[in-house]
Amino acid sequence: MKLLIDTDPGVDDALAILMAHAHADVVAMTIAAGNVGLRHTVANALKLVEVLDVDTPVHPGCEQPLVLPAADAAFVHGADGFGDTGYDAPQRLASGEHAALAILRLSHEHAGELTLIALGPLTNLALALRLDPTLPGRIKRLLIMGGAVNGRGNTHRVPAEFNIGFDPEAAHVVFSGWPMVELIDWEATMRHGLDYAELEHWLSADTAEAGFYAAISRRTRTWALEHGRKRLLSADALAMAVALDPGIVSEAEERHVGIELAGSLTRGATVVDWDDRMGRPANARIILAVDQARFESLVRSGLDRTTRK
Ligand code: BDR
Ligand code: CA
């Protein structure tokens, strides 16, 4: 599988990126601002490339959402987005090609073959789509981690999930311009948490990936426990599992999804037309449930390739 990852690393992005490199040919990572500022998300992606000892190109994208500024998620991921461990700065260099342009170029070079997965705000992808609206015709699958399909989000604007809420205009461009996306939302994430003790066991593997991830995730694991979360929620890892193993999905529904741009309490909400009241064609395959054991085995093999099936 050829994979292009648009991402804002971010602790759960990191886990997804480790999983991807264990199971797919990652052609590039294009980087968004989101969890923290672009300077950090680019550095974090480069650091992962170094830890993995691979040559995956890293393309910096937009520093800001398309229209309005947005607050980051440093309170969860740490000021540097990777748990403030003070890791040595990566020696690898980022590409000089902008993320949106890299998405377009790669879509031509691998026409019809690329699985594109967006793990952060959709700013880069919206820009690419505005530059070239024929982009979807060259992409095999587009998966998006984002949204809260029944209005139970994870931001202070209650129905909004972080990635969509950070840049609602970008999400609107993508959802209104892409014929069919696969959506892994926050509510599915809540139904597919990871057991802390089990994760801790996987993190004890004697690999560079497990060691690095154990360090950068320590702070978020503590934060989650302190906030009463019974299991560790890793949205981007769940989305990546669906990308890597489509057969993992046990329940999904196709519906029309629109993005709320204006509401004072609801800006950034993903509005799902569950009962087809608007009569608009479905534009999203909403993933509702996956095989938990298969999900966990993909996470584990991302941390320790010797467990790969
Ligand atoms: C999403 O928001 C980010 O904080 C995570 O990395 C994930 O992509 C979950 O709402
Ligand atoms: Ca993310």
Ligand lying closest to the C-alpha of residue 6: 2
Which atom belonging to ligand 1 lies closest to the Cα atom of 239?
8
The pTM assigned to this predicted structure is 0.98
Rounded to the nearest whole angstrom, what is the distance from the C-alpha of residue 71 to the centroid of ligand 1? 13
Please report, in tens digits, the pLDDT of each residue of the chain (309 residues total).
999 999 999 999 999 999 999 999 999 999 999 999 999 999 999 999 999 999 999 999 999 999 999 999 888 888 999 999 999 999 999 999 999 999 999 999 999 999 999 999 999 999 999 999 999 999 999 999 999 999 999 999 999 999 999 999 999 999 999 999 999 999 999 999 999 999 999 999 999 999 999 999 999 999 899 999 999 999 999 999 999 999 999 999 999 999 999 999 999 999 999 999 999 999 999 999 999 999 999 999 999 988 877
* CATH code (residue 283): 3.90.245.10
Say yes or no: CB of residue 163 within 6 Å of ligand 1: yes
Adjacent-strand bridge partners of 257: 272
The values of phi and psi at residue 64, to 5°, are: -135, 160
Identify the nearest ligand to the CA of 146 by its number: 1
Would you state the pLDDT for residue 306?
A: 84
Tokens encoding 103: 């998405």
Does the Cβ of 233 fall within 6 Å of ligand 1?
Answer: no
pLDDT of res. 308:
77
In the numeric block, the tokens 């998300």 are attached to: 41
Q: Does ligand 1 come within 6 angstroms of the Cβ of 35?
A: yes
Q: Which of 2, 113, 108, 92 shows the shortest CA–CA distance to 45?
A: 92
**Is 13 touching ligand 1 by the criterion CB < 6 Å?**
yes
Q: 259 forms bridges with which residues in the sheet?
A: 270
Shortest-distance ligand to the CA of residue 154: 1
Ligand 1: which residue has its CA nearest to atom 4?
A: 35
Check if 10 has its Cβ closer than 6 Å to any atom of ligand 1: yes
Structure tokens at 231: 């299991």
Report the distance separating Cα 270 and Cα 258, nearest Å: 6
| Centroid of ligand 2 to alpha carbon of 256 (angstroms) | 23
Contacts with 33 (C-beta within 8 Å, 6 or more apart), sequence order: 8, 41, 61, 62, 63, 64, 65, 72, 120, 121, 123
Q: Concatenate the DSSP letters of all residues of 128-197 into one string.
A: HHHH-TTGGGGEEEEEEE---TTS--SSSSTTB-HHHHH-HHHHHHHHHH-S-EEEE-HHHHHHS-B-HH
Backbone dihedral angles phi then psi of residue 258, each to the nearest 5 degrees: -115, 160
CA distance 274 to 278: 10
- Best mutation site among 5, 17, 35, 183 for ligand 1 pocket (most ligand atoms within 8 Å of CB): 35
Q: How far apart are CA 191 and CA 194, in angstroms?
A: 10
Q: Which atom of ligand 1 is nearest to the CA of 166?
A: 2
Q: Which residues surround ligand 2, an ion (CB under 5 A)?
A: 8, 10, 13, 119-120, 236
Question: Ligand 1 centroid to 245 CA: how many Å?
Answer: 21
What is the domain extent for residue 24?
A: 2-307
Chain Cα centroid distance, residue 198: 23
Mutate to test the pocket of ligand 1, among 5, 6, 11, 12 (most ligand atoms within 8 A of CB): 12
Question: What sections of 178-309 are H helices per DSSP?
Answer: 186-191, 196-203, 208-226, 235-244, 292-303
How many domains does the chain contain in total? Answer: 1
Query: Whose CA is closest to 101, among 6, 37, 17, 26?
Result: 6
